[in-house]
Amino acid sequence: MATVSVPVLGEREAGGVIGWYAELLLFEHSELLNKAAYRLSRMPGDRTWVVDSDFEPSGQPGRLQTFGSGRLGRKRTLLPPFVAELDRLIAQGPGGAT
C-alpha cells in the first residue's frame, strides 16, 4: 500500500510556452518512508503527464531534466489513475491540491 502527496501543482512557463507542473511524492504506507519523488509536466498538446525528473528514496536523481523537456525524445508517463487524480485536482481550482 502506498500514499501519494501532491505538494506542488500549478502552471509554469518554459520557452514562452505555459504548461502544468506537479511534484508527486510516493510513500510506502507500512513504514511511511519516502519511496520516490517525481517532477511532472503537461504541456499544450501532451495527452498525459510526462515525467521530467524522478528521485530515488535516497534523494539521488534517477532522471533529471528541466520542466517541459521530458516531452522531447523518449517519454515516461504516469499510470492512468495518477493522471486522473492530477486532472481532478486541476479541475478543483486553487487550493485543490491538498
Cell (9 digits) for 2: 502506498
Residue 63: predicted pLDDT: 74
pLDDT score of 98: 43
Residues with Cβ within 8 Å of residue 8, at least 6 apart in sequence: 21, 22, 23, 97
C-alpha 66 chain-centroid distance: 12
Torsion of Cα atoms, 3 then 76 then 63 then 84, to 10°: -30
Instruction: Say if residue 96's pLDDT is above 50.
Output: no
Comparing CA positions, the residue from 26, 37, 42, 28 lying closest to residue 77 is 42
- Per-residue pLDDT tens digits for 55-80: 877 777 777 777 767 666 566 778 88
The predicted structure's pLDDT at residue 9: 93
Tell me the pLDDT tens digit for each residue of 4-63: 888 999 999 988 889 999 998 888 766 656 678 889 999 888 888 888 888 877 777 777
